[in-house]
């Protein structure tokens, strides 16, 4: 009975790619891992590729749960007992135990050894012991295999529109795809992620219309960087704005080429030369100014320059040589997901390689399913989706997250098992979030050689401070690590800054500013290191000390509670008392406090008294009212915010 190449490869404990190479050496013609080989040829191949006697471990002695990839590489199901490991290595258990003792590991014959301990034993006896890949890892590995160059075809570019709010991103895309999305959206602002395919005379383009660069970076943070080209939309009458700079930084950090669309050139106040000058200052000099950035003047209102923009996008895509293999198992990325009353869980995805078909079995995150139906961006049902095509997929077992990768698999049972296993792991909270870089961890990672670049985001109260801080930081000499400022700007630290830092593993430094409540919560959840300074030299000193490995413990303020002043009372014995409502956390006595008026800190000190009703108390929790006495501050007003916090000393971590 004929056997397929991938089945024979599995029997011989080698990859399909390795087997195909060996078959070609043996003059056996095959086209791919799905090709069939007759019994007689398979027998000859097995005999020819049988492990040689000089190998320490013979293939025939290995049970199904083991795989020998190379002569000295052994994959085992880990953890493994001392007794079983001794059998696999053809050693005595006592030899294993003695070797473990040399590594200060004491174990009995039946004790289970983790991957690290088994690896040490293997290294001492000439083996490279690694764990068996999981079913999910095997599937991912299949999808990561290189395609046959002869099967690669050109695919449509995937383009994302980014830029400052109200500069006409969606209006411009509206003209391109000849629909009218903007007027239907709340307030004229994009409220969702949409993926649209536009057919042109010379080819197709897939557009992503995002609600801002936050979504773009959120997908990249999950490892799903599907954008090929970023179109930076800049209003000709407004020029470069803070969000424009943020969009540039996000695109650069993702290493995606930028094409600039200068919109609203029909307006009386339009000044294209001014915009090009601003772009040149940001190292995005236009081609007609001697630079390398494609810059096109357009008008979403009059449609002027839109066709030229599309031509430039196709030209840029041609230079990028974007290719995919439509004949392989499909892979894609989710850009939007929702729960529909009629259709159940629906995921909008863009196919990145292969061709997705109705009836295919797919895995996406911790969910799986069989593709029941696919709907394109125009609302038509389609039976298959080639590379770069956006479609809505019906048939998943649950709602997935944007940025999740869709893998097509052949075995329905395997897909179900993988999804259920991942769901169990999520329930048990086994998955550990990535450890973010902090200044305390920097020296250790430099010493280990695991980091060679420190990425920083700089925010300050005025542009002059931003420039001074950037210049000072970039002048810090270091032979061990390179400092890179990936974004800088004026204003408080916001959610966009934290998202960029999380995606890029960067440290956020703020000077004479604060961090918004939402960004603070996001930073805590994402383990992003945020540092606020009042003296510029302290910021420079901390970064220099971290880069030199001499960082002293730093002082960290942790918010305990926040209260809003509702009424002012004057009591003869106690003086002025602020009647407050606790809006967050717990107000505690005998700790430092701040009085905020708007964005300004108008007082820092301590309270003299804390009352709930008529009683003196040590603390008042969220939702309750209290009276706070601050005798040193006479100017407290209704509407002021009182924050109490604790001061912590965070020590340097050295290993």
> DSSP secondary-structure letter at 506?
-
The rounded average pLDDT for each run of 10 residues, N- to C-terminus, in the chain (655 residues) is: 72 74 73 69 71 40 44 75 85 86 83 84 83 71 79 91 80 74 45 69 81 53 71 90 83 87 90 92 89 91 90 90 90 84 85 93 90 89 93 90 85 84 64 50 57 81 80 77 84 88 88 89 87 85 70 69 92 84 92 89 89 89 92 89 84 37
CATH class of the domain defined by 331-404: mainly beta
- The domain made up of 557-650 is a member of CATH 2.40.30.10: yes
Res 615: pLDDT: 87
C-alpha 121/C-alpha 113 separation (Å) is 10
Alpha-carbon Rg of the chain, whole angstroms?
Answer: 31
Tell whether the torsion through CA atoms of 206, 211, 214 and 218 is positive or negative.
Answer: negative
C-alpha 582/C-alpha 584 separation (Å) is 6
| Residue length of the chain | 655
Q: What DSSP string runs through 589-632?
A: TTSEEEEEETTEEEEEEE-SEEEETTEE-SEEETT-EEEEE-TT
C-alpha 532/C-alpha 514 separation (Å) is 7
DSSP reduced 3-state for 314: helix
Pinpoint the alpha helices (H) of 182-256: 213-221, 242-253
C-alpha 158/C-alpha 156 separation (Å) is 7
Q: Comparing C-alpha atoms, which of 654, 630, 655 is closest to residue 642? A: 630
Res 504: pLDDT: 82
C-alpha 167/C-alpha 270 separation (Å) is 12
What Å distances lie between residue 35 and 3, 168, 339, 360, 410, CA to CA? 8, 52, 40, 20, 15
Structure tokens, 593:
């406090």
Q: Which residues contact 393 (CB under 8 A, 6 or more apart)?
A: 346, 347, 348, 349, 356, 362, 369, 371, 374, 406
C-alpha 365/C-alpha 182 separation (Å) is 32
Q: Do domains 156-321 and 439-552 have the same CATH topology?
A: yes
- Supply φ then ψ for residue 39, to 5 degrees: -55, -45
Res 586: pLDDT: 93
> DSSP secondary-structure letter at 571?
E
Residue 614 CB-density burial (10 A; 0-12 exposed, 13-18 middle, 19+ buried) = exposed
Res 550: pLDDT: 43
The alpha carbon of residue 420 and the mean position of all alpha carbons in its chain are separated, in whole angstroms, by: 24
C-alpha 469/C-alpha 463 separation (Å) is 10
Q: Which of 1.20.120.920, 2.40.50.100, 1.10.10.2480, 1.10.3720.10 would CATH assign to domain 1-50?
A: 1.10.10.2480
Q: Which residues contact 628 (CB under 8 A, 6 or more apart)?
A: 563, 577, 578, 580, 587, 607, 609, 610, 642
The alpha carbon of residue 488 and the mean position of all alpha carbons in its chain are separated, in whole angstroms, by: 20
C-alpha 353/C-alpha 159 separation (Å) is 16
The alpha carbon of residue 179 and the mean position of all alpha carbons in its chain are separated, in whole angstroms, by: 32
The alpha carbon of residue 321 and the mean position of all alpha carbons in its chain are separated, in whole angstroms, by: 25
C-alpha 118/C-alpha 115 separation (Å) is 5
C-alpha 13/C-alpha 28 separation (Å) is 19
SS3 of 102-125? HCCCCCCCCCEECHHHHHHHHHHC
156-321: CATH topology? Rossmann fold (3.40.50)
Structure tokens, 44:
């000859």
Q: Comparing C-alpha atoms, which of 565, 572, 546 is closest to residue 456? A: 546
Q: Comparing C-alpha atoms, which of 220, 286, 288, 225 is closest to residue 259? A: 286
C-alpha 261/C-alpha 176 separation (Å) is 13
* Beta carbons of 301 and 295 less than 8 angstroms apart: no
The residues spanned by each domain of the chain are 1-50, 52-132, 156-321, 331-404, 439-552, 557-650
Could you name the CATH architecture of 439-552?
A: 3-Layer(aba) Sandwich (3.40)
Q: Comparing C-alpha atoms, which of 204, 194, 207, 255 is closest to residue 233? A: 207
Q: Where are the beta strands (DSSP E) in 298-426?
A: 323-324, 331-340, 344-353, 356-357, 361-364, 367-376, 381-382, 384-385, 390-396, 405-409
C-alpha 111/C-alpha 123 separation (Å) is 19
DSSP reduced 3-state for 202: coil
Please, what's the largest Cα pairwise distance for the chain? 106
């Amino acid at each position: 009975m004929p056997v397929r190449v991938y089945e024979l490869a599995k029997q011989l404990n080698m990859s399909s790619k390795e087997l195909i190479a060996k078959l070609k050496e043996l003059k056996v013609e095959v086209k791919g891992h799905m090709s069939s080989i007759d019994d007689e040829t398979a027998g000859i191949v097995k005999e020819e590729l049988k492990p040689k006697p000089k190998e320490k471990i013979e293939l025939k002695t290995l049970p199904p749960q083991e795989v020998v990839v190379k002569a000295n590489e052994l994959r085992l199901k880990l953890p493994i007992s001392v007794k079983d490991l001794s059998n696999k290595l053809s050693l005595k258990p006592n030899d294993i135990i003695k070797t473990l003792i040399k590594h200060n590991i004491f174990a009995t014959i039946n004790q289970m050894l983790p991957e690290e301990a088994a690896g040490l034993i293997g290294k001492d006896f000439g083996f490279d012991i690694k764990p068996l890949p999981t079913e999910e890892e095997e599937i991912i590995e299949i999808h990561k295999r290189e395609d046959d160059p002869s099967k690669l075809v050109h695919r449509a570019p995937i383009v994302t529109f980014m830029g400052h709010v109200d500069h006409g991103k969606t209006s411009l895309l509206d003209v391109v795809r000849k629909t009218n999305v903007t007027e239907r959206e709340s307030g004229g602002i994009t409220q969702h992620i949409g993926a649209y395919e536009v057919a042109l005379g010379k080819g197709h383009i897939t557009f992503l219309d995002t609600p801002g660069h936050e979504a773009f970076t959120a997908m990249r943070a999950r490892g799903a960087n599907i954008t090929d080209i970023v179109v930076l939309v800049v209003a000709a009458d407004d020029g470069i704005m803070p969000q424009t700079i943020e969009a540039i930084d996000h695109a650069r950090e993702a290493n995606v080429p930028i094409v600039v669309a200068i919109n609203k050139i029909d307006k009386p106040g339009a000044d294209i030369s001014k915009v090009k000058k601003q772009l040149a200052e940001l190292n995005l000099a236009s081609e007609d100014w001697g630079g390398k950035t494609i810059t096109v003047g357009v008008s979403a209102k009059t449609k002027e320059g839109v066709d030229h923009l599309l031509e430039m996008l196709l030209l840029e895509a041609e230079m990028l040589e974007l290719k995919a293999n439509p004949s392989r198992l499909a892979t894609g990325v989710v850009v939007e997901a929702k729960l529909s009353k009629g259709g159940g869980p629906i995921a909008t995805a863009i196919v990145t390689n292969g061709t997705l078909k109705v009836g295919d079995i797919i895995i996406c995150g911790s969910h799986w399913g069989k593709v029941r139906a696919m709907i394109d961006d125009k609302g038509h049902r389609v039976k298959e989706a080639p590379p770069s095509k956006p479609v809505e997929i019906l048939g998943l077992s649950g709602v997935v997250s944007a940025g999740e990768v869709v893998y097509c698999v052949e075995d329905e049972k395997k897909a179900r098992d993988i999804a259920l296993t991942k769901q169990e792991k999520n329930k048990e909270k086994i998955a550990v979030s990535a450890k973010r870089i902090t200044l305390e961890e920097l020296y250790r990672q430099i010493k280990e050689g695991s980091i060679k670049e420190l990425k920083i985001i700089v925010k300050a109260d005025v542009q002059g401070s931003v420039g001074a801080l950037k210049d000072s930081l970039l002048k810090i000499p270091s032979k061990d690590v390179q400092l890179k400022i990936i974004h800088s700007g004026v204003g408080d630290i916001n959610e966009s800054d934290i998202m960029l830092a999380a995606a890029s593993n960067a440290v956020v430094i703020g000077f004479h500013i604060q961090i918004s409540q939402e960004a603070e919560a996001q930073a805590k959840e994402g383990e992003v290191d945020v540092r606020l300074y009042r003296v510029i030299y302290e910021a420079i000193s901390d970064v220099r000390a971290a880069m030199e490995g001499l960082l002293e413990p730093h002082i960290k303020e942790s918010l305990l509670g926040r209260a809003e002043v509702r009424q002012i009372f004057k009591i003869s014995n106690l003086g002025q008392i602020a009647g407050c409502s606790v809006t967050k956390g717990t107000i505690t006595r005998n700790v430092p406090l701040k009085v905020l008026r708007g964005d300004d800190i108008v007082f820092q000190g301590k309270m003299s008294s804390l009352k709930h009703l008529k009683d003196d108390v040590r603390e008042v929790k969220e939702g309750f009212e209290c009276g706070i006495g601050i005798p040193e501050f006479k100017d407290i007003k209704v509407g002021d915010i009182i924050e109490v916090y604790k001061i912590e000393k965070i020590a340097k971590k050295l290993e």
